[in-house]
Amino acid sequence: MKPPSFAFVAADTDDAQQALVSLKARYESVSPEEAEVVVALGGDGFMLETLHGSIERGVPIYGMNCGTVGFLMNQFSDADLPGRLARAESVILNPLRMEVRCVDGKTVQALAINEVSLLRESRQAGTLRISVDGVVRIEEMVCDGILVATPAGSTAYNLSAHGSIIPIGAPLLALTPISAFRPRHWRGALLPNSAQVEIEVLDPSKRPVSATADYTEVRDVVRVLVHEDRSVSLNLLFDPEHNLEKRIIQEQFLP
């Protein structure tokens, strides 16, 4: 079987650029627009950028870590790349869709592969009302913010905010508060991935709040809707020994 054509894209760092030179010297590649597989060289941030850039084409992305964390990446090696691509296992991700209304009436939509997060913009905590599927679950939460995370994003910002890690195949979303003052003992919730989360900012003039979908930030929001968009699918490729599901399970037992 003929191996798939592939293209290289690399982060603007010394390690990623050196890896790009090494791989291009060893393998014939095509442009990203022609490729059947895109090989991304960098860290998790660059992988997110690459995934967002591939949404229109839906081309599989195979990452190799030339950054720091690299949770969504495979180990870097310039040996036997066609063989690694042939053996790679596919993980399909459905991103979150964020729909925002701002103080000035502007509306914005954006997709998030990891999470949608709301954060206070000023020295004062935000005051938020949280509804799930049209039912108010928290009438007023005083906090630094709140986030909705996918299984793939549950080991990122969600984990640092003490949210639950979700196995990659689980049909769940994590709803996690960020430094909640009231209700003080609420630690978040796991929701079905069919849920629609609505977050209202109760005092946007005195306590302004921003909303961010991965790296798309919107300032001075008054209402944010978040739901999983199953019409959009993203395809990540992993070496069998670096299976994403196994890595997420392992993450729950790290000291």
> Does 44 participate in catalysis according to the annotation?
yes
Q: Is there a contact between 122 and 207 (Cβ–Cβ < 8 Å)? A: yes
* Phi–psi pair at 246, nearest 5 degrees: -65, -40
Give 4's contacts (C-beta < 8 A, 6+ positions apart): 35, 36, 37, 85
Rg of the chain in Å (alpha carbons): 20
Report the relative pairing of strands 115-120 and 221-228 from DSSP bridges: unpaired
Rounded distance, CA 6 to CA 12, Å? 20
User: How far does CA 49 lie from the centroid of its chain?
Assistant: 10
Choice among 12, 15, 44, 104 that is catalytic: 44
- Which residues are identified as catalytic? 44
